[in-house]
Structure 1
Amino acid sequence: MIKLIKGQRVSDGAGVKLNRVIGTQTLDHADPFFLLDEFRSDNKDDYIAGFPMHPHRGIETITYMIEGQFVHRDSKGNEGDLKAGEVQWMTAGRGILHEEMPAMTDGHLWGYQLWINLPAKIKMIEPKYRHIKNEDMPLVKKLGVEVKIISGVFDHQEGPVQSFYPITYMDVRLEHGIFETATKGTNLIYVHSGKVTVQAGAEQLEAEAGNLILVENVDSLNVKGDQGGFLFLSGEPIGEPIARYGPFVMNTNEEIQKAIQDFNDGVLDN
């Protein structure tokens, strides 16, 4: 199955303007992925208020910066200045509070926030924070294709992140090239530059910047483009019951109520 999902303009955090493609009425989630936002603007009023301190439980959150900077701080004492090309991979697990604030007063900001669900058996693991430098992520160049590997494997090279629930996360640029890869149960192509054409089995779709193509239940796919760029995400569905409320993703409503109570009592991250 192959499907085009159009991005929706939303506001989140303290008023940051976003293009949201997962976590909408059109696509609530694509198991195991629960949210994908793009923040991209040269108008500081669109993002300067950032994402003040807020909680998470039951998921991993990944912030990938292409341009600009974010300063991270969390309730476990972790701090980091996320620069262009770098990745912040945070496992919320049993609970954590964090904030991400732009590090400039002017300039261009371009990046992504991704949420990955965790299976029930590891939802309450201890939180973990990882700051991945640009030079630590392999960059594969071949035949009009450039692939930055954040996690997963491409052309026998592996990204630096070993996530608690394994996914593939890559930033792909095409210059009259074809990106070909084996797939998992859920596969996402978010187009951030130009146009691309996705071929999966007998089906084919074209998408332009700002939109997503969802591909499920095929063995492989290829993406063609003259001057296109996209994020490629792939993972096996967890297939468990879902209960979701804001920044909490759990398996039952009772667990959601417990997360809310723990946050209100100030013990979410204990």
Structure 2
Amino acid sequence: MTPTPITRQVDHLMASQPSQDGDGVNIRRIHDFGGGLDPFLMLDELGSDRPDDYIGGFPPHPHRGIQTLTYVIHGGLTHEDHMGHSSTIQAGDAQWMHTGRGIIHSEMPLTDQQGLHAFQLWLNLAAREKLSPATYRDVRAAEMPQLPGRDAILIALGGHWQNTAGDSVAGPLDALAGHGAVAHARLAAGGELALATPTTTLLVYVFAGSLDISGTSVSPGQLARLGSGEWLALASQEGAQALLLAGEPHGEPIAHYGPFVMNAHAELEQALRDYRDGTLTD
């Protein structure tokens, strides 16, 4: 007899907190540099219809030791970096950076009639990849496959996703750290989405409506960390939207200072010296 799959339950809720970054950009942030979200580190939500909240953007700044994934709901962001990349993403698009040894970049906001609403996710690189060459990629909305539920869809940005009916899709971002997978779930009123979830780490960040996750109600601005199991059950009476994050923990020490994430304090000091000396990206 085949055992009944275990539905994953919410074992911890985290609330996003107001913060500022860049040139006075107002954001809501969730972070855990102690390994509690491994392989994920931080999620920022930028959302406002007031240009003063974000118009200063993120002038040139460095990174080492992480990947970033930026995803736009509406508005847009223009990216430029030391490698010569210059591109703009708009509603439904994403951009991915593997910062590796080092990258210096800027992100400047664009608006539409609703202002700006976007996310930036930080993923930790394994120790063996922290000094690897930097790379960058844009992904357009049309490249992202969709997986259906009942009055619901999952938009796959990266990684492999499968519903409990056996349908599956693979997002275009196939090199996310920690075998990561990222998706945008949209549920209409009364919608349901049931997914097979084999990875160890599974997180759900709700940003619109109220979402029922295996019987636990999760409100906008809350991140749910799921316990072990094989299935994820999502439902919403009023309609909801959420980001789904899945991956495998590195289980390595984390040392963090500003835009640098390494494994030891001495490596952070080296990153700071390299940045001051102009050799961060060499």
Q: How many aligned residue pairs are there?
A: 264
* Match in the other structure for 1:126: 133
Residue 242 of structure 1 corresponds to 254
Equivalent residue number for residue 177 of structure 1: 191
Does the residue aligned with 1:159 lie in a helix, a strand or coil?
A: strand
Distance 1:100 1:144 in 2: 35
Structure 1 pair 47–23 and aligned structure 2 pair: CA distance change class (3 A): farther
DSSP-derived class of the 1:73 partner:
strand
Provide the residue aligned with 1:217 in structure 2. 228
Residues 216 and 97 from structure 1, CA distance in 2 versus in 1: closer, same or farther, beyond 3 angstroms?
Answer: farther
Correspondent of 2:205 among 181, 185, 190 = 190
The one-letter code matched in structure 1 to 2:232 is L
1:77 alignment partner, SS class: coil
Asked whether 1:232 is paired with 2:244, we answer yes
| Cα distance, 1:167–1:114 mapped onto 2, change above 3 Å | same
The 3 A distance-change label for structure 1 pair 195 and 104 is closer
CA RMSD of aligned residues (A): 1.7
Q: Where in structure 1 are there 5+ consecutive unaligned residues? A: none
- The Cα offsets for residues 5-63 of structure 1, whole Å up to 9 and x where unpaired, read as 11101111111111112248xx8751010110000000000000001111100110111
CA contact (8 A) 1:23 1:36 kept: no
Deviates more, 1:45-54 or 1:135-144: 135-144
> Is 1:22 equivalent to 2:31 in the alignment?
yes
In the alignment, the residues of structure 2 paired with residue 49 and residue 126 of structure 1 have an alpha-carbon distance, to the nearest angstrom, of: 29
Alignment partner of 2:67 out of 60, 66, 81: 60
Q: CA deviation digits over 1:229-262, x for unaligned, max 9?
A: 1000011111001111111111111111100100
Tell me which of 120, 145, 150 is aligned to 1:138.
Answer: 145
**Does the CA-based 8 Å contact 1:44-1:106 persist in structure 2?**
no
Distance in 1, matches of 2:75 and 2:137, equals 19
Q: Alpha-carbon deviation of 1:106?
A: 7.6
SS of 2:280 mapped into structure 1:
coil
**TM-score w.r.t. length of structure 1:** 0.93
Which residue is equivalent to 1:256? Answer: 268
Alpha-carbon displacement from aligned partner over 1:57-87 (angstroms, at most 9, x marks no partner): 0110111011001110001111111111100
Alignment of 1:1-80 (within 5 A): 2-23=11-32, 30-80=37-87
Q: Tell me the alpha carbon deviations over residues 92-129 of structure 1, each in whole angstroms, 9 at most, x when there is no partner.
A: 00000010001349851000000000111111110001
Q: Residue 49 of structure 1: SS of its match in structure 2?
A: coil
Structure 1 contact 2–216 (Cα < 8 Å) conserved: yes
Structure 2 match to 1:267: 279
Counterpart of 2:45 in 1: which secondary structure? strand
Cα drift, residue 195 of structure 1: 0.2
Per the alignment, do residues 145 and 152 of structure 1 end up closer, same or farther by CA in structure 2, a change over 3 Å counting? same
Overall identity of the aligned pairs, in %: 38
Distance 1:83 1:170, change over 3 A: same
| Aligned residue type for 1:188 | L
Determine helix, strand or coil for the equivalent of 2:128: helix
Misfit runs of 4+, over 6 Å: none
